[in-house]
């Protein structure tokens, strides 16, 4: 295999290999030899000489470019799909089918009564749980779970199990999130008897992050949220079978502190959680470049 080179710029990192030389996609880039670990895409360049530098020179010269990338390699961060459980069983409840094909991240708000739940899915993904909020007045537990670069399906389901815990789970699948360590910051809160609850402030470290928040309560009804958040999925309270829950989000174009407040019509005990996840925009990407004759 020919030498591979890594070209580093202030915003992107490209892994390039061509068998005869290095082709720069950015001006004023620093070129360093590096073994090629992986190739996410492929650019086929015909009739290009070894001393070729900026990509626009190639375009002006009317050379032939073929660019092949994964569907979500440079996708804008966005909601792909969502789903929520229905309270039918005091021990275990499951979402409806969620089409997660193409998802880079899935986040879920999960809750149960007293018993710490177990979250699984029908794609055998390994989930990470963030800091759990436990209500000191009634024992309800609430946390955000997430999985990065998940195995996906058009009929993806998520199950939350907790013995006699009346479990409840709401999920959002995302595109365009960072593919390595997207989680950033988190917070959460509980209340005894109230009709509103702030999550606690979080400040994303980067622009274009998603801020995800979850709420759980019993007979709260008509959940609302401020600060420009959208409620994406909800689970209604079903007596003895499922807690009431909701998940919402905002995509922050410009990073800044945010402290969303959930509110509802019937005062009751409640927990909420919030977490932020980084966008893939501006992240390091890998490309493989090959030169033809």
pLDDT tens track, the chain, 293 positions: 333 333 333 333 333 444 444 444 433 333 333 333 333 333 333 333 334 444 444 434 333 333 334 444 456 899 999 999 999 999 999 999 999 999 999 999 999 999 999 999 999 999 999 999 999 999 999 999 999 999 999 999 999 999 999 999 999 999 999 999 999 999 999 999 999 999 999 999 999 999 999 999 988 888 999 999 999 999 999 999 999 999 999 999 999 999 999 999 999 999 999 999 999 964 433 333 333 33
Q: Supply the pLDDT for residue 219.
A: 84
Supply the pLDDT for residue 218: 82
Residue 75: its pLDDT value, please?
Answer: 65
- What residues contact 221, with CB distance under 8 A and at least 6 apart? 237, 244, 264, 265, 266
3-state secondary structure of 206: coil
| pLDDT reported for residue 82 | 98
Q: Is the pTM of this model over 0.85?
A: no
pLDDT at residue 51 in the model: 44
CA distance readout (Å), 40 to 34, 72, 286: 16, 11, 6
Q: How far apart are the C-alpha atoms of 198 and 261, rounded to whole Å? A: 4
In this predicted structure, what is the pLDDT of residue 10? 36
3-class SS of residue 232: strand
Other Cβ atoms within 10 Å of 114 Cβ, number:
15
pLDDT score recorded for residue 221: 84
The reported pLDDT for the residue numbered 76 is: 84
What does the pLDDT read at residue 177? 97
- Cα–Cα distance measured from residue 157 to residue 94, given in angstroms and rounded to the nearest whole number: 7
Cα 55 from chain centre: 32
Q: For the residues of 142-203, what is the DSSP string, one character each?
A: EEEEEEES----TTB-EEEE-TTS--EEEEEEEESB-SS--EEEEEEEEEEEEEEEE---B-
Tokens, residue 253:
């174009």
Beta bridge partners of 8: 13, 30
pLDDT at residue 58, as a whole number? 41
Token pair of 76, please?
């804008």
């Amino acid at each position: 295999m020919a030498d591979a080179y890594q070209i580093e710029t202030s915003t992107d990192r490209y892994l390039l290999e061509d068998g005869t030389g290095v082709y720069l996609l950015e001006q004023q880039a620093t070129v360093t030899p590096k073994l090629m670990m992986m190739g996410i895409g492929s650019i086929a360049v015909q009739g290009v000489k070894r001393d070729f530098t900026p990509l626009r020179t190639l375009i002006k010269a009317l050379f032939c470019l073929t660019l092949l990338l994964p569907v979500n390699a440079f996708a804008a961060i966005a909601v792909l799909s969502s789903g929520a459980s229905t309270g039918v069983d005091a021990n275990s409840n499951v979402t409806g089918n969620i089409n997660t094909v193409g998802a880079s991240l899935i986040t879920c708000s999960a809750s149960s009564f007293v018993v710490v739940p177990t979250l699984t899915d029908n794609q055998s993904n390994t989930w990470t749980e963030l800091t759990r909020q436990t209500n000191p007045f009634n024992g309800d537990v609430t946390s955000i779970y997430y999985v990065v670069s998940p195995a996906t399906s058009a009929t993806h389901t998520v199950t939350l199990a907790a013995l006699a815990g009346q479990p409840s789970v709401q999920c959002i699948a995302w595109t365009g999130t960072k593919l390595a360590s997207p989680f950033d910051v988190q917070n959460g809160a509980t209340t005894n008897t109230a009709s509103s609850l702030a999550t606690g402030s979080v400040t994303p470290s980067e622009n274009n992050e998603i801020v995800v928040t979850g709420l759980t309560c019993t007979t709260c009804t008509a959940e609302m949220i401020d600060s420009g958040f959208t409620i994406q999925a909800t689970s209604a309270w079903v007596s003895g079978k499922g807690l009431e829950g909701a998940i919402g989000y905002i995509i922050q174009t410009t990073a800044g502190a945010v402290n969303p407040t959930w509110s509802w019509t019937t005062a009751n005990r409640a927990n909420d959680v919030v977490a932020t996840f980084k966008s893939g925009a501006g992240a390091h990407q890998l490309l493989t470049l090959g030169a033809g004759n």
